[in-house]
Amino acid sequence: MPFNEEDTTYYRRDVGTKGLAMSTEERRQLLERYLPEPSQLQIPQKSARTSPKRKPGHRRRLRPFLKQTLYLVIYLTIGFIFGVYIRVRQIRSAVLQKYIAIRHHHHRTPAYIQKDLRNLSRLPEHLSVVLTYDSSTDDGLETLLDEVAELSAWSAAAGIPLLSVYEKSGVLKQYMSAVHEIVQQKLVAYFGAPPSTPTLRMLAPNYPTLSPVPSPTIPAQTNGTTDGDHRSTDISLNLLLLSESDGRATLVDLTRTLAEMAQAHKLRPKDITQDLIDTEISATTSIPALSSPSTLTNGALDTDGATPSLPSEPDLLIVFAPYIKLDGYPPWQIRLTEIFCVGDSGGDVSGRQRTRVEYQGFLRALWNYAGAEFRFGT
């Protein structure tokens, strides 16, 4: 029904006066003339699907229920089987670790460590380990320092001349003097007082080298020797500390330096070759030759009579973690490295995420390295 012009004018006048021109009853009568009749309204009918009288709808809900039940049973079955597998694996690893710990224990005696490694066909010249610093505990730093000291003593007893320790945060570099002192004390506990103690040299990229003056070569009594077995100290250990800054950050700094030198015309772009980059990157963890041949493990010279330098790339990398996690370890240093993962806390059934540094894990890694077959892409 079209609006009446008179009613429209009257209504607008009422709006203009804010409802003072018309009373409530006049306003209701005005609107009623334009409302439809109740008989003309279409009321929607209820759908047959939503009618409570029809029961087939309940039958249609049975199939989704059976599907959900089947999926739940399959999920719980897989979880149960996987849980049993993990537990069996952890228990097996724990039993094996306990057996090795009882049968092969160093007793802080280098002779026992050498006996455990006597039949191995080869030992790494450069051993590297990945450790984790637990900053959430009060004794995290103390535990880390003790682990480094134990690994240093085991490596010196095994005749490994170079041990590199990678810790992501670089906290070891901040306490190099403390690390050097603790490692020296551990070596004394294993080998005896000087001059039986191995010569320790500590290095870190962009940090000064800590290298005490070697003691004179004097026959001395050491741990694990008999009354008639004397030997002089001809063992040396080089301890290299690495962190995340020696990895990706080193590559970024090298790229920036080469770009700046090329822009300043101090280096021609064609001089930036693969050999140059490889040399610069390898210098990150390279160990310079020692000044005296007697400070090496075997004191041998090369054919030219020069002191041989130690290998920059690790032969063996031990990851003390539940799984292989390099945590930013310099990738160009481990292209030909044998990697050994100790496992989940040495098989601890508690399922802790941090793996303890134990002698049996160190021993298993050397056994695995001696039995590994190196093909080098052939």
Q: Rounded to two decimals, what is the model's pTM?
A: 0.65
Contacts of 151 (CB under 8 A, 6+ apart): 129, 163, 165, 357, 362
Give the chain's length: 378
In the chain, how long is the greatest CA-to-CA distance?
132
Distance CA 341, CA 333 (A): 17
Q: List the 126-131 sheet strands across, edge first.
A: 199-203, 236-242, 162-167, 126-131, 316-319, 338-341
Tokens linked to 262:
């090329």
Distance CA 255, CA 272 (A): 10
What average pLDDT is seen over the chain?
A: 77
3-state secondary structure of 310: strand
pLDDT range class, residue 190, cuts 50, 70, 90 = very high
Is the separation of the CB atoms in 196 and 162 below 8 Å?
A: no
Of residues 307 and 330, more confidence is placed in: 330
Is the separation of the CB atoms in 355 and 321 below 8 Å?
A: yes
What pLDDT does residue 229 have? 40
3-state secondary structure of 48: coil
Q: What is the pLDDT of residues 323-371, one digit of tens each?
A: 888 888 877 778 788 999 887 654 444 445 567 888 988 999 999 999 8
3-state secondary structure 8-32: HHHHHHHHHCCCCCCCHHHHHHHHH
Residue 91 has pLDDT above 50, yes or no: yes
pLDDT range class, residue 60, cuts 50, 70, 90 = low
Query: Region 309-320: what's the mean pLDDT?
Result: 80
Distance CA 134, CA 289 (A): 34
Residue 193 has pLDDT above 50, yes or no: yes
Contacts of 54 (CB under 8 A, 6+ apart): 48
What pLDDT does residue 351 have? 45
Residue 128, strand partner residues: 164, 317
pLDDT range class, residue 289, cuts 50, 70, 90 = very low
- Render the burial of 170-187: b for 16+ CB within 10 Å, e for the rest: bbbbeebeebbebbbebb
3-state secondary structure of 317: strand
Q: CA neighbours within 13 Å on the CB side: how many for 305?
A: 0
Residue 54 has pLDDT above 70, yes or no: no
pLDDT range class, residue 230, cuts 50, 70, 90 = very low
C-alpha separations of 111 from 22, 54, 169, 271 in Å: 114, 88, 35, 52
Task: Please name the residue that has the structure tokens 């009579």.
Answer: 305
Quote the strand ranges of the chain, DSSP E.
126-131, 162-167, 199-203, 236-242, 316-319, 338-341
What domains, with CATH codes, occur in the chain? 5-33 (no CATH), 104-247+284-371 (3.40.1180)
